[in-house]
Structure 1
């Protein structure tokens, strides 16, 4: 039995935790009633740990691929695990788990063995790490509530602290796991919404899985399965979920907003105050200039704007709580298991995420150099929680990825229609005519027609000399791509954009849509808008700020 928590144990911990959450994900989703009864806690924890495991594996792969293969030190692996969880954290539960791991990493990165190395952490260091993890998680939550994952984490740390100083790491983690199990069983008596539903806290249930994996990784023995007061398998029906939502006041926020943020500590302190006034379920985790922000609000745009004022937000995810979940408490309509219809869209920029979300869409970010995988799209379809889903890939290169996700969702009983939008501006046009009260086929046909009637273009910067359909371009040239093909080569953005607009409007049009990247000044947009107004009298122009996106400028003509 290992006497220390070393890098081999941490690597095994990641794999075992991911395996355990994958096994129990559906069960944890099924008992999720707090803070929002949207059935995604297990999935969010799984995706958070998956990101942590990938970061750890990347550290091992990087050192073993060199000319002199080596094994990373414990601080490096723990920091990678915490960082991976931070950047991949999903939902309220995943964000808190990321902070728990960060708290552990802060302690274990500073601890050294008697020989002065970082070969592993002893029992004393592990006790301190679990204690710091629980403390830092509470500090990250704006309004801590007992009977949640915070309570379970605190109980685990306290149980570990009761182990004698000479105890080994195996004894410490077993005690933490057993303390967490006891605390989990008590959560229905601490939080009324859990008692009414007859379930334990979903986030706490997930943490028990993670701690059980840690115990097995350190001791080499699988953690015993503990009986729980509700068996842990009951599924919360719609009527109960709605009653629970009403009981803990989920009738307010309509959106979940999550983003990574680069900002200093003082800016984040101001951000916490502003977001706390905008909504609830506020959790801000991280440090050293990088933060993960999670909040439930009615005004998703205001939450993103607050992040822009604080620093640089990116990887923005905005989810609309559909009428089929706890958000049904906002309406007098009868409760339903799922919303009837939802739209899931891939969006290339932070600003567009807010725009799409305000129209009711669940968004998936398409980050420069990091296109979403089909698993992310399946996750978004699940989060949309609807019987019928319209999927907008908004990129020709992502159509096959979207098709794979649609097929997976169909196998899970969701009716999915994939509209082959090749640009975000086509998605905007489709979303503008979306009518959820129409029959599904009628709605899809109308959205497809609107997207198909929208020509699209984008500006890009040439990376090297190459041959294009418009001639030979040099590195640094501005390329105007119309419907995916290079049609214009220019020296600067405004002139190239005007030429692209003229080419597109020569065939007619009624509405021009401009989506500006961060690097495009307002004066450029004003000039293009004036050009259209003066040259094409009957054509209107709308301008959106897309934020950080792969193309400096997107253009749509309807």
Structure 2
């Protein structure tokens, strides 16, 4: 699992420029590659020197990924980074207490992840990372059923190959599933990022090299192709992100109000533990949430969030697209500040 996240960090760093270049949905802000890279990096760094143990057979891989997922969620960047964090946290849950991955566990984990990702968004849209995850989960489930729950490494290898093949096919389909992508003649940037993450998982688990030719032929992905996002009209909105403790009712209220104020609303629970709003045993149970929204004016959104609780690490970023290519790990030219 550590090797997987390390490979994913390196691979996304290497591909961040191309991912940024074709990032035009939901806004053409040219930072999907950068956001995925930085979020995966946060997950990987959380495991530096980690020696988590938890089962009689060895390391608890669910606990390892839960720790990485929580760090990713707390430090998630943008739509794509937030959805990756949701994916990682969800994958960790069926792996809790397990010391190895199997085809059946992989199928359960990917199914959990795609359901969680679709539900995290208030207005989920096909033709994005969501569709890639859904196809990958379906392929894993189909392969596991065909093998009658075989838990051998050979069965796992077949499942992982099927997952990557299905993810690639889903990425290719994104161009025709979203009108902006079809008009620009490119595939979805976040979908390509998720495909790379899944191929890194296959590579790390099987001890094989990444598929060098995996992305050949994807529209907009050749090095000589232009930065499509730079040709799109600039977006004058902002992205607001934070982490906050809320009761289920307050969380539902926040989601509804943010839906009215803006779009690209993502809300997902950070970790699985519940607490109380104060020391009173009758106090309402609260959970920690990661919040993401695109709005025209950040002030009403921030005021709403503060009216429901005490947010941590509020970040406000301009959605205006960078007009110059960004290096791996850079902010893609966007102006970001914390409150």
Does the 8 Å contact 1:131/1:154 carry over to 2? yes
Q: CA deviation at 1:384?
A: 3.3
Change beyond 3 A, Cα 1:121–1:97? same
Q: CA deviation at 1:91?
A: 0.2
Q: Tell me the equivalent position of 2:23.
A: 32
Q: Among residues 259, 263, 271, which one is paired with 2:242 in the alignment?
A: 259
Aligned partners of 2:245, 2:65: CA distance in 1, in Å? 21
Q: Tell me the equivalent position of 1:382.
A: 333
Does the 8 Å contact 1:197/1:241 carry over to 2? no
In the TM superposition, what whole-angstrom CA distance separates every residue of 1:105-142 from its partner, at most 9, and x where no partner exists?
12111xx5xxxxx3223211111000110010000011
SS in 2 for 1:312: coil
Q: Tell me the equivalent position of 2:221.
A: 232
Aligned partners of 1:155, 1:241: CA distance in 2, in Å? 29
Q: How does 1:306-455 map to 2 (within 5 A)?
A: 306-322=304-320, 337=323, 379-380=330-331, 382-384=333-335
SS in 2 for 1:120: coil
**TM-score, normalising length: structure 2:** 0.84
Q: Among residues 117, 123, 126, which one is paired with 1:143 in the alignment?
A: 123
SS in 2 for 1:230: coil
Q: Tell me the equivalent position of 2:283.
A: none
Does the 8 Å contact 1:174/1:223 carry over to 2? no
Aligned partners of 1:239, 1:80: CA distance in 2, in Å? 37
Q: Tell me the equivalent position of 2:252.
A: 269
Aligned partners of 1:237, 1:209: CA distance in 2, in Å? 20
Does the 8 Å contact 2:23/2:229 carry over to 1? no
Q: CA deviation at 1:202?
A: 0.5
SS in 2 for 1:32: coil
Q: Tell me the equivalent position of 1:285.
A: 268
In the alignment of these two chains, the number of paired residues is 308
Aligned partners of 1:82, 1:319: CA distance in 2, in Å? 23
Does the 8 Å contact 1:102/1:286 carry over to 2? no
Q: CA deviation at 1:51?
A: 0.5
Task: Establish whether residue 171 from structure 1 lines up as the match of residue 122 from structure 2.
Answer: no
Does the 8 Å contact 1:93/1:203 carry over to 2? yes
SS in 1 for 2:48: helix
SS in 1 for 2:239: strand
Q: Among residues 107, 114, 119, which one is paired with 1:134 in the alignment?
A: 114
Q: Tell me the equivalent position of 1:55.
A: 46
Aligned partners of 2:160, 2:243: CA distance in 1, in Å? 31
In the TM superposition, what whole-angstrom CA distance separates every residue of 1:472-523 from its partner, at most 9, and x where no partner exists?
xxxxxxxxxxxxxxxxxxxxxxxxxxxxxxxxxxxxxxxxxxxxxxxxxxxx
Q: CA deviation at 1:231?
A: 5.5
Aligned partners of 2:90, 2:201: CA distance in 1, in Å? 15
Aligned partners of 2:114, 2:217: CA distance in 1, in Å? 22
Q: CA deviation at 1:58?
A: 4.7
Q: CA deviation at 1:232?
A: 1.6
Q: Among residues 118, 121, 141, which one is paired with 1:161 in the alignment?
A: 141
Q: Among residues 27, 37, 57, which one is paired with 1:46 in the alignment?
A: 37
Q: How does 1:43-192 map to 2 (within 5 A)?
A: 43-60=34-51, 72-109=59-96, 118-163=98-143, 164=147, 165-166=149-150, 168-192=155-179
Aligned partners of 1:237, 1:172: CA distance in 2, in Å? 34
Larger Rg: 1
Q: CA RMSD in A?
A: 2.6
SS in 2 for 1:121: coil
**TM-score, normalising length: structure 1:** 0.52
Q: Tell me the equivalent position of 1:21.
A: 12
SS in 2 for 1:162: helix
Does the 8 Å contact 1:96/1:285 carry over to 2? no
Q: CA deviation at 1:380?
A: 4.2
Does the 8 Å contact 2:240/2:293 carry over to 1? yes
- Structure with more relative contact order (C-alpha pairs < 8 Å, separation 6 or more): 2
**Which has more strand, going by share of residues?**
1
Aligned partners of 1:124, 1:282: CA distance in 2, in Å? 32
Aligned partners of 2:312, 2:58: CA distance in 1, in Å? 32
Q: CA deviation at 1:82?
A: 1.0
Moved more, 158-167 or 80-89: 158-167
